[in-house]
A and B are shown apart, each in its own frame.
Chain A
Amino acid sequence: MAISMQPHGIQSMLKEGHKHLSGLDEAVLKNIDACKQLSTITRTSLGPDGMNKMVINHLDKLFVTNDAATIVNELEVQHPAAKILVLAGKAQQEEIGDGANLTISFAGELLQNAEELVRTGLHPSEIISGYTKAITKTLEILEELVEKGSETMDVRNKEQVVSRMKAAVASKQYGLEDILSSHIADACIQVCPKNPVNFDVDNVRVSKLVGGVLHNCTVIRGMVLKGDAVGSIKRVEKAKVAVFATGVDSSATETKGTVLIHSAEQLENYAKTEEAKVEELIKAVADSGAKVIVSGGAVGEMALHFCDRYKLMVLKISSKFELRRFCRTTGTSALLKLSQPKPDDLGFVDSISVEEIGGSRVTVVRSEDGGNKVATVVLRGSTDSILDDLERAVDDGVNTYKAMCRDSRIVPGAAATEIELARRLKEFSFKETG
């Protein structure tokens, strides 16, 4: 931090309290140092034997994980150069979903080697051009290292999927990868659309329930919703579903209105007509053949009463996204007003039941045969942080599957590829001049 003693020059032109570092000594080396520190932190988390890091973020939430992307995210890095590394890791996470640790550690290592070169007097721009040449050559060599015969792959074949996914999951949760990857593969295969390239990672949901142990994890074809069913009916089989995006209630006007009553009979009939109205609407829904009503907002008490009377099961899904996924799972189209649904607006489920898992009640929506677009992996574990970590592992697995669908070529892992690349690159460098 060079606090220049010159009040004139660039210091006086810029705002109060800023820091200005330039030159080899200050800027380049210090930046490299900062990045090195960051990569040292994440380095020990690489691979199946990687150690976890315990991070408490500014909201006091506890993370215990070895996923580099999560760690650096929560670390709140201040130094600008190190932040670039963080962004690189994030980009890797968004694009591919895995390999963030590789990115950060590799970048740190590159910078460390560059530092030695800089100290021997090499100009940074020469280093940059050298690195650029190296990366082009590396990508070429990488093509050659691809395993033969892995270009084509049946993304629905479970063994092939599992064999590719195991390594990714193992590096997160060593020792549990067999069980986990088998479940993840199940879930992904169920959800895979006709054209594998269109695989949407959002369709594989994760549901975390505290309690039990990993061996109790299951995959459910359908969705798991936290919370009980509203109303008294808790179980329904082979039912048609109607979805209402707004609440299920008698409509109230937005503007402040007053009801003008002119005679005694009007007063008496007032309450009755409201009730009758709601009953009519619910009856209409029941007549359309729906046995289940799903509401995106609150369900009025009067409406609930009639739903019970007409033996309709009522579910409440408060999140818009969950509601959308539910519609995808069951093939329903959401209605905006409480009115009689048309036959093709209705969806279908194999069963909905309220079960108690690990002390909390959840609603399990099962949709077995064709057209089910959403699968849920139910994770059990003893603490919240374990569950969060398992979820990250599942995410990695699903992202690997997505990458597989796009391009199923594989290269040997466990640093075999890296060493081979290093060797070939070295040979290549001997042929270069300068």
Chain B
Amino acid sequence: MVLEATMICIDNSEWMRNGDYNPSRFQAQADAVNLICGAKTQSNPENTVGILTMAGKGVRVLTTPTCDLAKILACMHGLDIGGDLNIAAGIQIAQLALKHRQNKNQRQRIIVFAGSPVKYDKKVLELIGRKLKKNSVALDIVDFGEDDDGKPEKLEALLAAVNNNESSHIVHVPAGPNALSDVLISSPIFTGDGEGGSGFAAAAAAAAASGGEYDFGVDPNIDPELALALRVSMEEERARQEAAAKRAAEESGRQEKGEEPASTSQDAAMTDRVNVTSDEATERVSDLMDDDTALVEEAISILMNSSCSGPTMVDADMLEATNEDQELAMALQMSMEDRTKDSSSQSDISSVLGDQSFVSSILASLPGVDPNDPSVKDLLASLQGHSEEKKNEDNPPSDEK
């Protein structure tokens, strides 16, 4: 939160037309300038920023140091590219502009964007640097664009002459995929002014630099609900996979063929409960599947009810389920018990999965339905729950008969 008056010296020489920085050197520079202005004014409300251009017909001061961010951004429009960079005059005029700042309590800082070759020799630059140091003006240098031999050394010499107690910095930005602004955000030019500037910088950095690194391509800072929903469904899918593996191991270990239908009917019985819970837990995910639900529901019900078409496994299952009433009753009881348990447990979802693998075989015969589509699987699970419920309601009455 240092109280500071800053003059930003922009390079608008012919060398800025080059496109090795995306979209062009000048545009990348303009973006960086906008970011810096925002950061400075945000870190302390009394900070002032001014802008001048160093090339063109001559050094031109666009705004003297002001706190008005809108004015600063407005004067960045309509800048012409042309001429040659005059870095010495630019820095000296920036120093003069800072000298006449309104609030003498502000520290003085100059930020120079050096994109084109520097034609002054080291001695002149060192002299300028010493004068800045004597008047306690800090200098930040952004070395980008043209990289002729001697330019980095000259700028380093200038920095060494100015640097007083690490208050001045230099950043060399090579051409490449990273935007100029992104490189600057992580540099001491942004973070060097301490705790205050880093709030803005951190937010900008989080948004810009790590946008592509999130699991789902969604930045939690920008859209927390969507990110949360995606993460929840991802976790559930993972849980289902684990439970499916567990179930498969259990089933193969513990069950004979005879128990198989019972367990699957258990699964079926439990799916209706699961359907309820999964609806609660994954509202958004099931919403996506609503459109498909009706179609698949019909198909499944047809399959279930007709005994002539469809895989034998289904028929066998239903026959055996009706035969083994005791097991069915037990299954129903268990499902009633489980209903009272915590609904969002893994076992619910695992039973859905268990069903899925079974139902997908049913679906294999259905045209146009991909049994491996997880959304379809979920639908089927819920559907089977519905149809099994209907079937279960039918069965006890038939038992009583």
Co-assembled chains A and B: no
Q: Which residues of A contact B (CB under 8 A)?
A: none
